[in-house]
Every structure is written in structure tokens, then in C-alpha cells.
Structure 1
Amino acid sequence: MQRIPFLYTMLLLGFLLSSCKKGLEEINVNPNESEVINPEFLLSSTIINTAYAYQQDAYFDKPASAGRYITMVRNEGDDKFDWGPQSWDAEYARLSANREMMALAQKMNVPQYVAVGKIMEAFNFAYVTDLFGDIPYTDALLLKSERLVHPKYDPQQTVYPALLKTLKDANDQLISIGNKVDGNADVMYAGEPLNWRKFANSLRLRMLLRIAKNYPSAFTEMQEILNDKNKYPIFESNADNAEVKYLGTLSGNSWPGGPTANSFSEFDKRKPSKEIVDALLQRNDPRLPVWIAKVDALTGGTVDNHPYVGVPNAIPAPYDYNGGADHISRLAAIFKSNSDPMVKATMMTYAEVCFILAECVQAGKVTVPGKTAESLYYAGIAANMKYYGVDQAATNNHYYDQPLVKYNGTLEQLIGQKWIAGFLKGTEAWFDNRRTGFPKFVLGPLSSTPVLPKRYIYPTGERDTNEDEYQKGVAAFGPDKQTTLMWYLK
């Protein structure tokens, strides 16, 4: 059965509810319950659902394969990169719930919820356009208010500047608003406006770098942020990370690989990639045993008898690689826990901000007061080491003095370290690879393509229920293929 996309289902539901309203309005009132949902409840669910879904993609879905952190040894279709059409229903469902929260907050005159909602809206819309390219944006969330059934596709080159303005406006509003969002409802920052402002401005840095090739004012806008840290604060330590803890009590609030969320066999389908294991080994990296488990058998491997063995991408019978399961590494135990403190649903980190700034300073595009590209590069590595509790080990083992690690001013080295630090923490590895060409991933013999996909193919439902707007969108965007370049990559 063809699933009707969320956007259109909401309209149908609204029609049914409005047609049945007369007569039912009075008898369906519960005198013991509030008729109004407070915005703090909707905010909490928006933050949790966004962070959990983004993290699940980075570990359990196609971005994990495209980032080359994971190799699937069972059900390995994602690793072959013939992905086909992808749904965006969940993303638009989160956007719709968040928009409802902002509308309610506006009515109740609690503007702090509107400002935080803008940040979440920008994050979610940016993710959708990063995945697909041109997307429904201006018309996308108007089903309830305007009964708009067939949203048009907006060009990415208009979507991104609008989102950047949304983030800037949110930061400015949070400066002037005296009240905080409810600390109990804000599961990420406990209601602290300064943290939300840091997230908004750090996210702007990520987005500006992403579009810099085709957005002439990108570095000017970045420099504006960097010139005034009081007006535009950004992440300054791991304590600022945009991430949500897992409670680990139910499948819905557990790490996607934990025993509560999924069976162990599901966890065991995902092995660390050869790329990430080899990169860690080559650098004698103290994060290796934190992320990767040793093989069960140290002898008898057909290819490699090292204690840590990753699996190459898209090879025949990957479960038999190196002699089978006993001779290939699993992910470490933290990734089969429901709620290990080092495993959170992460949207953005301080380490990423350091690498973003290091890249821009290294290219001579911006300056950061008191910082150099080299110092920012090392700060990004050190922040991630500290996050996983191995910063002292890195110092003791002279990690930073190794030829592969010692700063050499190349983009390849910088993005390589950013990739390592981003292990299972989002889609940035995939997005950086398609933007810079680094790291230089090698795709296996069974891969359907010699290069990583550049985008998701639009949902099948768009051709079924939004055909006219879909065709107009594709005519402007280009062929609906995963190799078509979106605006900021051209």
C-alpha cells in the first residue's frame, strides 16, 4: 500500500475533524483536562525527536555508510549505495510539531519558545535540504493554516539564506527576551539562553562553510560572528555541545544499538569500517579501544591477525572477511549500551566548530582573535580526546608529534582529523567528503557507483500526490538522481 506522506495526511485529518466538529464539539470536552497543550511539552519532544533521529541516521542508516564509519556485514544494501527514493515524512513531521509549538507560544506570549523553535526549525530544514537539495520550504508547513495541499519546491539557494536569517533572528531575540524556556522541558540546555545562542551561531558557521563555494558573503558573515563574541557567542568547550542524553529505560529513549532498542544481532550487523580502524591504528590513536573492540581470535585470520580489524566496503560475503566473525572487530561495548555517558544523541560539537574555523583560517578566509589554523586544528583533536577521556593518554603517548598528526597545513589532514573526531556523530563526514573530496574513501567492488551519492532521491510519494510541483521542482533542480549536484556543490 502506498503510504500517504505526512504533509498530506495532516490536511485530510484536518478536513475530517472540521466536518465532524458540529455536534461532537460539546460532548467531547473533558472537564478534567486542559484544552491547551503547553509549549514546553512540544519543545521537549521536538528536541528529543530531532536529536535521536539525527543520531540514528549517523549510526543506523545510510549516512553511517556514506560517512564510512560502518560496514554492514548483513543486509548490506546501504553500503552498495544504490539507495533509491527516500522518505522525508519524519523530518517534516518534526518540523510540523515544532511549528505548532511556536504558534502556540506566540498565542501565549512566551517568545522565548519561539526563538528556540526557530533554531530547531533551521536545523531540521537544513538537514532536509542537505539530503535532497531543492525542497518544499515556504509552502511546506501551511496545511493547517491555509489548507495548502501541494507545496512548491524552493531552490536551495533561497532556502539556505532564509535559514541563516532565521538563526540570526533567534540569537537576537534571545538577547532581548528576559524569560527562559522551562528548564525541565529543555532536555538539552536546561533553559539557558546563552547555550541556545551558541548553538544558533555555531550552526550558522557550519552552514556558511557548507555553501561558501556559491554564496559570496559566506566568509563575511562568518567574520561578523567571530568579531563580536558577546553578540554572537559560539561553542567554547564540550559543555556547549548540542546533544541529548539517552535515558535507556525504553526502546524509544535508548541508543539505537542498545539491547533495549534493538537485539544484539542487529548491533552485530554493523562492524567498524576498515577505513576508520586503519586510520586509528596508523596514528596509534588512544580512541581506538574506546570505539572498537578487539577480535575474538588473534590467530587464524586469512588477511590480518591484528587485534583490531575493520571490514572493507561492499565486498562479497563481508561476514566472512578475514575468516569470519571471530577475526573481525565489533564496535566497542559503549555502542551496545542503552545509555553510556559517552554515547549521546549529538547534533553538533565543539570539536566540529574548531575544525570549521581551522579550515577557514587555513584558507585565509577569516581570522579568529588569538587563534591560528594550527591551534584550532589541535583544539579540535584535543576536545574530542577529552570527550572520550583519553586526552592525557594522547599527551603521554606523544600523539600530536606523529608525522600523520603533526599539523602540516593541508586540507586533507584537517578533514581527516575532523572525520575521526566525528565518529558516529552525524552526517558531516559524508557532507564533508562530497564538498572537499576528503577523506579519500575507497568504495568496494560491489558498490553500484564509483563515488559516494551526492544526495537522496525524492520520495516516491511526491510523484504520487504532488506530481505537478515535483515535476516543476525537478525541471529546475536537475535529474532526480543521487548523482545530481545540489546548488552549493556545483
Structure 2
Amino acid sequence: MKLNKITKATICMLVLATVGCTGDFEEINTNPNGFTPVELEQDFNHVKLGFAPMFNNILVLNPDWVYQLQQGLNSDIWSGYMATPTGFEGGINNSTYFLMDNWNGFIWDYGYQNVMFNAYDIANKAKGKYDQFYSLSLILKVEGMHRITDTFGPIIYSQFGTSDTTIGYDSQEEVYNQMFKELDVAVADLTTRVDANEESTFASTDLSDYKGDYKAWVKFANTLRLRLAMRIVKVNPALAKTEAEKAVAHKFGVFTANADLFKVISPVYTNPIATISGSWLDIRMSADMESIMGGYADPRLATYFDTSKQFPDQYKGVRTGIEIAAKSDHQDFSGIGAVARSREIVLFTTAEAYFLRAEGALRGWNMGGTAQEFYEKGIAASFEQRGASGAANYIADNIKTPKAYVDPSFTVNNSPAVNNVTIAWDAAGTNELKLQKIITQKWIAGFPEGQEAWSDYRRTGYPKLFPVLKNYSAGTITTELGVRRVNFVQSEKATNVGGVATGVAKLGGPDNGGTRVWWDTTAPNF
């Protein structure tokens, strides 16, 4: 990681671009190339300018080191997907539960600077005038900003863009309620346009695979609603059921084919993980992935990971939260494979849609089928997406289980398997066992998108992951439960002190990594 690039000037630039200094949006957005407003409005270019930064910063695609701080050294690790062989800051860092404010601030800063700011700007220019763009921006806004609230809890949302000295935070419940309403607006508007056979004006601006197809965007919005609905199932089960059933019942429905999945196709940038893993050797396969996928002899392993240079023809993972004496001890374990060596960054899979419906059906919701049916379709969709064969045999396997983890050099890192569940559906099993199977397979299918996997882990406790061996949180984060959220950021504490105070009040606990966000409760799964 290029820590030397994180300079005071960089931080100051980000602070100036975030919500504490947003009173002069029109001035900030003045076109640097000298085009007049009339010229910019031709072909809606004055509105379209804001979409590329939204697409490219849901996950920061450039520069690579910013992605590393925005997600690579937090949720990608806390999800159990990846681990670092590098002993940053003497091994006292996010991976060992000492939360690094100077790293984690990039999650907030880039989300507000690029996603929230441009959604606000597009709304000002398009709402009530070019509503197709407003609707599309709402969908991208929800996709980008639900990740921010899922990371921090209360955030600035409804008050974004105000010029007040203190900008108040919304509770996470308030944010989710507004997001559901924003999806309502977008779905209603774009559905009307599809029904009227309106030609899309978004194709040239669309960095997804949808090519401006409004129907495809509605299907994505519905599937995103389904995700958010499941997130709140333990805190508002009635609303969760209503929103989930609304998503599935819509006439365009949710994702059902891999052609539906949502991805950002960059004309320039390869997935930053490729550099961080392949060139910097800062990220490796996790011990959890080795245990679970290795134990299942999962055919997708060859797409997800490279074999180890140190142990040829083997997939070797690194355990998170261990003592790292030297980077060379583990840097030649398995790196991230072909799945990351692409300019197509998948943010929402069709497999996830099926697993969401499987869990909904398990809870008695009307999802249009049975839990087993959707569970098996989810696995099959993931195999197809990754070009893997043998899905039918894999689905039927009721023998294989995750395997023990063995660190060839340091026995202190060894552990028996902890996520002891087979693959095949067990109709006679408890709901808890069935949920563990669903989330385990959802976790495998979602790789390498660690944010969603970390949220699922916090919500359900699945898959069961190896605990860290080194915990430097001074008691604020338990080894058993892991990191539950990220502290409010230093840029906000410096420029919006009163706003942060409202956030802490709505958080309902101390501002540290052990306090649960709203939907992350101690209530049982059933």
C-alpha cells in the first residue's frame, strides 16, 4: 500500500469536496472546458456529466490505493474473503481490530464526494424536467449510499446539501425508509417509460451492461429493494416482508438470469484488487475461503484464486488477525485470481437474488417458489456466471464439509473448521441450519465483493469465520463478534462537530467498532 500518498493535502482536498463545504455546488460544478450552458444541455450533457463518477466510485476504481483504503483493508477482510500478509503499522491495524481512522475515512469521503454529491447535483438539474435521469441517479445513489450507512450507521442523508454550520445525521432507520421511497420513485417513473415504449436517452452514459435499457434498470432497482428488505428483517420484519414481496411481485421482477446482474464496465480501469494482490502482494486468499471452498472442492476456486507460489498446485490462505513477523512469511500464498483481472466489476449477482428469495421463502414470504428451489438456482447461477462445471453434483453433495486450516509455517495459526455444514439442502433441517447453508453459498457466490458479505455476516452470523488471534481494540470490539461498524470519520469531526454529535446520539452507543448499527441486533435469526 502506498501510504506515502496519503498526504495532508489529499485529506484537505477531500474535506473540501464533502458535505461540510457544499454551499456552492453550481460554482464547483462549473465546466472547466469553457462550454456554455446551452452547449452543455445539448443531448443532456449537463446532466450526464455526473454519472461516470457515481459509477466509478461505488467501489473506487482509481487510484488503486484508494480502493485499498475504501474497502480492501476493511470489509474485504472482515467478510472473511481476503487477508493481508503485510504487517501494516507493526501489525496493529484494521485486521487486528485497531481501527485506522486515516484509512477508513476514505469510505466516507469518496462516497460523499462522488456518489452523494453527483446524485444531489443531478437531482437539481433533472428533477421535474428530465426525470429519467433523476430516476436513474436515485438507483445509483441507493446502491452507493446504502454501503455507507451499513458501514457507519447514522449518516448525512436528508440534510445533504444544506448550508447550515451543523449538518444533522439521519438515523439508519430513517435512511432506509428514505431509500425505499427513492426506489419507489425510480421504479414508477421508469416503468411508465417502458410501458410507453419510450426510447432511452441514457445508453451513451450507462457504464453498466444495461446499455440504457430502462426495464433492466427497474429490475435492478427491484433486486436492490429485495437486498435492503432482507437487511432489516430482524428490526422491522413486517416492513421487510412488504418490501421484499413488492420487489418480487413487480411485473418486471428481480434478477433471474446472469444477463441481469449489475456490474460496472470500466473503459479504462481494471479491478484494483488485481494490482493490490498481483503487484503489491498486499492481499491474499483468506483462511476462511481455503477452509470452506477447499473443503467443498469447489470448482470456482480456480477462477477466484491463483495457486500458491510457495506451495505449487495448492490453494493456500492467510488467517486474518495473526501476528505477522515478516511479509515474506505469507506473501506467496494464493493471490486473487482471474475474477479480479477484469474491467467488469460485478456489484450485484443474480445468484444473490436467488439466495435472497431462498431466505425470504424460508421466512414464509411469497417469493414465487420454495427455499430449496431458489437455493439450488442460486448455486447454479453462480457456477454459470463463473464458467464452472459440475453444479448438479455440487448441489447434491451431502458429504463434504469445510476443512481444518493449517498454516505450514506457524502452527499457532491452525484451527479446526468452524463452519461445519454440508452443501445439499436438508429438508428435515432446522431453519437455522437452512439459513447457514443459504448464507454460506451466498457468501461464496458473492466473491470478491466484501461489503455485502460483511453485512450478511453481521446480520446472520454466517458463515462462521475463524476468530482473530490478535485483538488490539482495547476491549471495544470482541474477538467473538468482530467489527460491527466503523468510527465516524475525522473529516467530519473537524468540520461538522455538531452533526457528528447527532449521529452519535442516533447510533445508540459509543462511537467505536463494537457498537452495532440499527439492523444488526442481538435478536435470533428466527
Q: TM-score range by the shorter chain?
A: 0.7 to 0.9
State how far apart, in whole Å, the 2-side matches of 1:325 and 1:431 are: 27
Matches within 5 A, 1:353-432: 353-364=353-364, 366-369=365-368, 371-390=369-388, 392-395=389-392, 397-403=393-399, 404-408=422-426, 409=429, 410-432=434-456
Matched residue type, 1:350: T
Matched residue type, 1:49: N
Deviation, 1:155, is 1.4
Matches within 5 A, 1:65-214: 65-74=77-86, 75=88, 77-85=93-101, 86-87=104-105, 88-93=108-113, 94-106=115-127, 109-142=129-162, 147-177=163-193, 178-188=198-208, 189-214=210-235
State how far apart, in whole Å, the 1-side matches of 2:27 and 2:159 are: 22
Deviation, 1:257, is 3.1
Map of 1:454 onto structure 2: 484
Distance 1:333 1:345, change over 3 A: closer
1:463 aligns with 2:462: no
Deviation, 1:347, is 2.1
State how far apart, in whole Å, the 2-side matches of 1:319 and 1:406 are: 41
Distance 1:100 1:194, change over 3 A: same
State how far apart, in whole Å, the 2-side matches of 1:149 and 1:181 are: 38
State the Cα deviation string for residues 309-348 of structure 1 (Å, max 9, x = none).
2111121227679x6555x32222553x354xxxx32221
Equivalent pair of 1:455/1:484 in contact (CA under 8 Å): yes
Distance 1:201 1:84, change over 3 A: same
Distance 1:311 1:150, change over 3 A: same
Map of 1:314 onto structure 2: 321
Equivalent pair of 2:71/2:451 in contact (CA under 8 Å): no
User: How does the TM-score come out when normalised to structure 1?
Assistant: 0.84
Deviation, 1:12, is 6.6
State how far apart, in whole Å, the 2-side matches of 1:399 and 1:35 are: 54
State how far apart, in whole Å, the 2-side matches of 1:273 and 1:420 are: 12
Matches within 5 A, 1:236-315: 236-247=256-267, 249=268, 253-258=269-274, 264-266=278-280, 268-298=281-311, 307-315=314-322
State how far apart, in whole Å, the 1-side matches of 2:40 and 2:190 are: 29
Aligned CA RMSD, in angstroms, stands at: 3.0
Equivalent pair of 1:81/1:447 in contact (CA under 8 Å): yes
Map of 1:303 onto structure 2: none
SS in 2 for 1:46: helix
Map of 1:48 onto structure 2: 56
Deviation, 1:444, is 2.3
Equivalent pair of 1:40/1:181 in contact (CA under 8 Å): no
Deviation, 1:220, is 2.4
Deviation, 1:181, is 3.0
Matched residue type, 1:217: L
Map of 2:516 onto structure 1: 485
Structure 1 residues not aligned, in runs of 5+: 22-27, 300-305
Distance 1:361 1:149, change over 3 A: same
Distance 1:472 1:51, change over 3 A: closer
State the Cα deviation string for residues 193-220 of structure 1 (Å, max 9, x = none).
1111011111111101101212232112
Matched residue type, 2:18: L
Equivalent pair of 1:352/1:418 in contact (CA under 8 Å): yes
Matched residue type, 1:73: P
Map of 1:38 onto structure 2: 46
State the Cα deviation string for residues 343-370 of structure 1 (Å, max 9, x = none).
x322211111111111121122x0222x
Map of 1:217 onto structure 2: 239
Deviation, 1:15, is 10
State how far apart, in whole Å, the 2-side matches of 1:60 and 1:169 are: 33
SS in 1 for 2:127: helix
SS in 2 for 1:83: coil
Matched residue type, 1:111: D
Deviation, 1:105, is 2.2
SS in 2 for 1:199: helix
State the Cα deviation string for residues 270-315 of structure 1 (Å, max 9, x = none).
110111012112111101122222223548xxxxxx8222111121
SS in 2 for 1:214: coil
User: How does the TM-score come out when normalised to structure 2?
Assistant: 0.78
Deviation, 1:438, is 1.0
Matched residue type, 1:470: V
Deviation, 1:420, is 0.8
Deviation, 1:456, is 1.0
State the Cα deviation string for residues 370-423 of structure 1 (Å, max 9, x = none).
x21001001111111111101x3333x555333311112521111111111111
Equivalent pair of 1:52/1:345 in contact (CA under 8 Å): no
Structure 2 residues not aligned, in runs of 5+: 1-7, 400-421, 522-526
Equivalent pair of 1:50/1:124 in contact (CA under 8 Å): yes
Distance 1:381 1:13, change over 3 A: same
Q: Which deviates more from structure 2 when the two are superposed, residues 269-278 or residues 31-40?
A: 31-40
Matched residue type, 2:98: D
Map of 2:346 onto structure 1: 346
Deviation, 1:476, is 3.4
Distance 1:298 1:132, change over 3 A: closer
State how far apart, in whole Å, the 2-side matches of 1:164 and 1:206 are: 11
Equivalent pair of 2:23/2:161 in contact (CA under 8 Å): no
State how far apart, in whole Å, the 1-side matches of 2:377 and 2:443 are: 15
State how far apart, in whole Å, the 2-side matches of 1:30 and 1:400 are: 61
Distance 1:457 1:40, change over 3 A: same
| Number of aligned residue pairs | 451
State the Cα deviation string for residues 219-265 of structure 1 (Å, max 9, x = none).
12322333x341x5211111111101243x4xxx2210345xx6944
Map of 1:6 onto structure 2: 17
Deviation, 1:52, is 4.3
State how far apart, in whole Å, the 1-side matches of 2:37 and 2:46 are: 16
Equivalent pair of 1:43/1:113 in contact (CA under 8 Å): no
